[in-house]
């Protein structure tokens, strides 16, 4: 009986609003950082991206052509542990949502990715407010407003 319910849920067409609500509740599973790579499972999909440190106009960005996410190389060394990994989670989730689910990057994809970033920090006993300030000041230092 459980199996039948699951099949019906998958066949049922969800509105974008319902899908966003479901994605906000879906956890990132089996998260791994190995070398210069991030991999995890999200919403039944295996996601894997290379991580590259480079001069970036934003704090972080993702490639539209390759399976890569970019973190600004000027991101402070002391911030490179939990905040660095949180940014990687954010960018990888955002890339997946924009490319595979065709969500608007600045609306739904960013909202969901930010929630997953926050959940990662909480799981790692990081401080969300501190992370926000680190990203905010790095963003402003680069001239973004």
Q: What is the distance between the alpha carbons of residues 46 and 113, in angstroms, rounded to a whole number?
A: 16
Residue with tokens 């609003």: 17
Distance CA 29, CA 40 (A): 6
Tokens linked to 90: 């954010």
pLDDT tens profile 1-23? 344 444 344 546 888 899 999 99
CA–CA gap between residue 17 and residue 59 (Å, rounded): 28
CA dihedral 36, 108, 130, 34 (to 10 degrees): -10
Query: 138, 59 in Cβ contact below 8 A?
Result: yes
Model confidence pTM above 0.85: no
Q: What is the pLDDT of residues 26-81, one digit of tens each?
A: 999 999 999 899 999 999 999 999 999 888 777 899 999 999 999 888 765 555 57
């Amino acid at each position: 009986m459980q199996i039948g319910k699951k099949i019906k849920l998958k066949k049922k067409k969800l509105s974008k609003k319902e899908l966003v609500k479901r994605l906000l509740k879906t956890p990132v599973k089996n998260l791994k950082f190995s070398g210069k790579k991030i991999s995890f499972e999200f919403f039944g999909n295996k996601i894997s991206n290379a991580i590259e440190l480079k001069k970036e106009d934003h704090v972080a960005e993702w490639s539209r052509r390759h399976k890569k996410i970019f973190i600004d190389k000027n991101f402070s060394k002391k911030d490179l542990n939990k905040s660095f990994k949180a940014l990687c989670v954010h960018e990888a989730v955002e890339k997946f949502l924009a490319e595979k689910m065709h969500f608007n990057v600045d609306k739904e994809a960013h909202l969901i990715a930010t929630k997953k970033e926050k959940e990662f920090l909480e799981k790692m006993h990081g401080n969300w407010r501190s992370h926000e300030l680190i990203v905010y000041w790095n963003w402003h230092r680069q001239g973004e407003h």
